[in-house]
Amino acid sequence: LVNAQQARRVLDRIVGYTVSPVASSRLNESLSAGRVQSVALKMVVDREREIQAFKPQEYWNLKAELKGENKNSFKALLSEKNGKKYKPSNSEEAEKVENELKNSQFKVKTVKKTVVKSHAPAPFITSTMQQDGSIKLGVTAPQIMAIAQRLYEGVETPQGNVALITYMRTDSLRISEEALAAAGEVIRSRYGEKYYPGQPRRYKPKANAQDGHEAIRPSNVTLYPELVEQDLTRDQYRLYKLIWNRFIASQMENAVYDVTAIEATCENQVFRATHQSVAFAGFTAIYEEGKDDEQEAIGSP
């Protein structure tokens, strides 16, 4: 530990003594630069330069509406030409392809049917809660944290002050055994036995996770969002429901989809179509309940 401290001290001087004067003179104010901030800033600058250097290229998606003998139709996307991936690069090229194929017959080359499973998401940690909350609730990350702080500290209910969620600053995916068992009971009683995988799901922690606190979850999973809605502000309710849904979903069975992939050929070009239907809702059943709230959030200030 002593050697590590000395190494950090030397590196700070090597970097700081070199970069700090330059930064101060360029920006006309007294600044200091360290071994970590300087490298992090370089990474941001390099990425920004990549973005600025990007040259967008025009391309067109060309779809064909195809009908079989049973008169059912489906749309397929142009994917290949002469055995290579292909998209028209401008409107003239797209129109040329359209005219070539307009009166031609398409032939189904392959039909593949598969079953795909979608795994339940892990419970929230701080970063994923901020990301999901910003997207679905339309508020900033600091606002998300302020609302979560209030839910953690507790809100007034007829039963007194109740803390609704666990600590919201965490990078751990660990869940207590008691909470896992309670989640299983809620899933079986609310959704049915087939929606529970039969045993708790435990998620592998990320490398270097602090693991000082559990993942973000409801303090009491039997406090369904609708039971506490009247005691919360609109934003508190929406975030609590997001956290409750995510935690319960993390312990539910996988969703299962029937996927059909079709390749249709015409001349030297290949069109592809994919259709997906739900065979078993699994953890997605919980989000069907929350669609109205998410739709309400879209466009909100």
Q: Tell me the catalytic residues.
A: 167
Cα distances from 235 to residues 11, 138, 139, 217, 277, in angstroms, run 45, 10, 9, 17, 33
Ramachandran region, residue 71 (left: φ > 0; alpha: ψ -120 to 50; beta: rest): left
The Cα–Cα gap between 301 and 292 comes to: 17
The Cα–Cα gap between 245 and 287 comes to: 7
- What length does the chain have? 301
**Structure tokens given for 48:** 């920004």
Other beta carbons within 10 Å of 252: 23
Distance of CA 7 to the CA centre of its chain: 39
Cα distances from 179 to residues 45, 119, 187, in angstroms, run 44, 20, 12
Ramachandran region, residue 211 (left: φ > 0; alpha: ψ -120 to 50; beta: rest): left
Which residues pair with residue 270 across a beta bridge?
80, 265
The Cα–Cα gap between 92 and 244 comes to: 52
The Cα–Cα gap between 203 and 65 comes to: 43
Cα distances from 263 to residues 98, 113, 136, in angstroms, run 18, 12, 35
Distance of CA 130 to the CA centre of its chain: 11
The Cα–Cα gap between 275 and 279 comes to: 13
